[in-house]
Amino acid sequence: MAINRKLWGKTPDGKPIYKYTMTNASGASVVLCSIGAAIVSINVPDRAGKLGDVVLGYGKPESYFGDGPCSGKVPGRYANRIAFGKFTLGGKEYELPINNGPNHLHGGPDGFQNQVWDSRKHKGGVEFKYVSADGEMGYPGNLVVVARYEWSEQNELRLTFSAKSDAPTIINLTNHVYFNLNCRGNIMRHFLRLNASEYLPTDETLIPLGDSAPVADTPMDFRKPKTIGRDSKKDFPALNYGKGYDACWVIDGYIPGQLQEAAELWSNRSGRTVKVFTTQPGVQVYTGNWLEGCPVGKRGRIWHDYDAVALECQHFPDSPNHPDYPGTVLKPGKTFHEAIIFAFGVKN
């Protein structure tokens, strides 16, 4: 496994921005950068063996700061939404910045995704570290987070998160990478299968109402593979609120710390596939419903709505305000540890 690091740019205050390229023996590669511990490119073969870049990303490092799609980055301290930017921990109410309608999203405007992380090549992978100060974006506790990426000879990208805090806090981490397995066009004819019999209904601001609901007999049913576009325009609350799919599914068979298959995405056109495994309880599927107007992509590409899909493995939205959801509290002396694997392949 070859890992190459190069200077990609600097912030206005002179902090270096690094880009890392991990290349396996077959020539398949992953490109990462230190802004938001981002995935910039994933180059994998189609059924004819031709390599292609299957993820949304930008050509200039400055485009990664404050982009609406949060492309390829690690949002935090809490990925997804917290209702009205408020939660209570240890009897104290905390207030977070409101940056998505009436709610707090992805850790706020200065969340992890908009920070330059420390980075290094380490033991056959690339590690990014970010230290989030007590009170940053309203969150309690000094938090140290490490995101580690490894790229295998079998074209599997493994992402592991670890974090520690010196005071009780909340945490929810994912990667917000967007896939287009054809490298162009929209993703409406991509096939998707989810290992999920239930999803979380929400209000119109995408905050969960409470209990999960069966996907059976609804457009949310991906237990058997179907194209993303087949039901995406149906008159259904979750689709109306999000202008398409933007919801959290409950992964079947969730056991804390144990890898489960969450999703499989593939294209009959290119033959490329990606299977997603995670230790986390949910997968937020977002079909790029608001990509229009995002920064110019690699090689000058202009992205449009529905040109890519994000499969964000994470804990549930607004979990701190739902005691019955899997817990997102991290206490001193404990280590947060979660994993996501993107395993690429081909179907003939």
Report residue 104's pLDDT band, with 50, 70 and 90 as the boundaries: very high
Give the active site residue among 312, 315, 322, 338: 312
Q: Whole-angstrom Cα distance, residue 268 to residue 181?
A: 9
How confident is residue 167, by pLDDT bands cut at 50, 70 and 90? very high
How many Cβ atoms from other residues are within 10 Å of residue 125's Cβ? Answer: 19
Does pLDDT of 319 surpass 90? yes
Task: Provide the CB-side half-sphere exposure for 50 (13 A, CA).
Answer: 8
Starting at the earlier edge strand, list the strands of the sheet with 282-286.
Answer: 178-179, 309-314, 282-286, 246-250, 198-199, 213-214
Catalytic residue among 104, 106, 176, 322: 176
Give the pLDDT of residue 125: 98
In this predicted structure, the answer to whether residue 332 has a pLDDT above a threshold of 90 is: yes
pLDDT for 27 beyond 90: yes
Question: What is the structure's pLDDT at 239?
Answer: 98
Q: How confident is the model at residue 62 (pLDDT cuts 50, 70, 90)?
A: very high
The reported pLDDT for the residue numbered 238 is 97
- What confidence score (pLDDT) does residue 119 get? 98
Q: Domains along the chain?
A: 2-346 (2.70.98.10)
Tokens 């305000």 identify what position?
Answer: 321
Q: Write down the pTM of the prediction.
A: 0.98
The one-letter code for the residue type at 6 is: K
Q: Is 312 a known active-site residue? A: yes
**pLDDT exceeds cutoff 90 at 217:** yes
Compute the mean pLDDT over every residue in the chain, rounded to the nearest whole number: 98
Give the model's confidence band at 246: pLDDT under 50 very low, under 70 low, under 90 confident, else very high. very high
Mean pLDDT of 274-282: 98
In the chain, % of residues over pLDDT 70: 100
At residue 173's C-alpha, the angle toward residues 133 and 98, to 5°, is 65
CA distance 158 to 10: 27
What's the rounded mean pLDDT across residues 270-286?
A: 98
d(CA 342, CA 45): 14
- Our answer to whether residue 122 is catalytic in this structure is no
Assess whether pLDDT exceeds 90 at residue 348: no
pLDDT of 70 > 90? The answer is yes
Sorted by sequence, the CB contacts under 8 Å of residue 251 that are 6+ apart come out as: 195, 196, 260, 262, 278, 280, 281, 282, 283
